[in-house]
């Protein structure tokens, strides 16, 4: 099973945002990814990280566990809660379509201290954007 740690970071709500993702098997991180995603809210950033993780993970395995420190994102995905906010609704549909490509998708909430690699990658994407804009 593939283990995928995701994080979305936003400096402001909305504000400059980035995502960070790590892919691991047997406690070995074999790939990581980060991207500046523009000006988003915190929850939009988390969903963008999830979407990009699912788009990439399909190339590695069809059974995955997604780890995130965003309790609301994990709760939404596990309980399939109805999303009312228009800006989130579209991306949740895209995520649901991507989930269908996998045999198994497990969601697990973790504490931020256990998600430091993904957090660092997300913040680095923002830092690189800010540095480039100066």
Tens place of pLDDT per residue across the chain (134 aa): 999 999 999 999 999 999 999 999 999 999 999 999 999 999 999 999 999 999 999 999 999 999 999 999 999 999 988 888 888 999 999 999 999 999 999 999 999 999 999 999 999 999 998 887 75
How many independent structural domains does the chain possess? 1
**Residue 134, in any domain of the structure:** no
DSSP state of 102: S
pTM to 2 decimals?
0.95
**Residue 133, in any domain of the structure:** no
- The domain of 28 spans 2-127
Query: What is d(CA 116, CA 37) in angstroms, rounded to the nearest whole number?
Result: 19
DSSP state of 113: G
* Nearest by Cα to 3 from 70, 77, 54, 66: 66
Q: What CATH number has the domain bearing residue 105?
A: 3.30.420.10
**CB–CB of 85/127 below 8 Å?**
no
**Residue 60, in any domain of the structure:** yes
């Amino acid at each position: 099973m593939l283990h995928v740690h995701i994080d979305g970071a936003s400096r402001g709500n909305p504000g400059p945002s980035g995502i960070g993702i790590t892919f691991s098997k047997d406690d070995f991180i074999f790939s990581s990814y980060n991207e500046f995603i523009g000006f988003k809210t915190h929850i939009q950033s988390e969903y963008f990280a999830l979407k990009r993780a699912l788009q990439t993970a399909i190339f590695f395995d069809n059974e995955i566990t997604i780890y995130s420190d965003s309790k609301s994102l994990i709760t939404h995905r596990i309980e399939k809660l109805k999303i009312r906010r228009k800006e989130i609704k579209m991306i949740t549909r895209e995520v649901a379509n991507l989930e269908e490509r996998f045999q198994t998708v497990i969601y697990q909430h973790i504490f931020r201290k256990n998600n430091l690699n993904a957090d660092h990658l997300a913040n680095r994407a923002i830092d690189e954007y800010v540095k480039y804009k100066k």
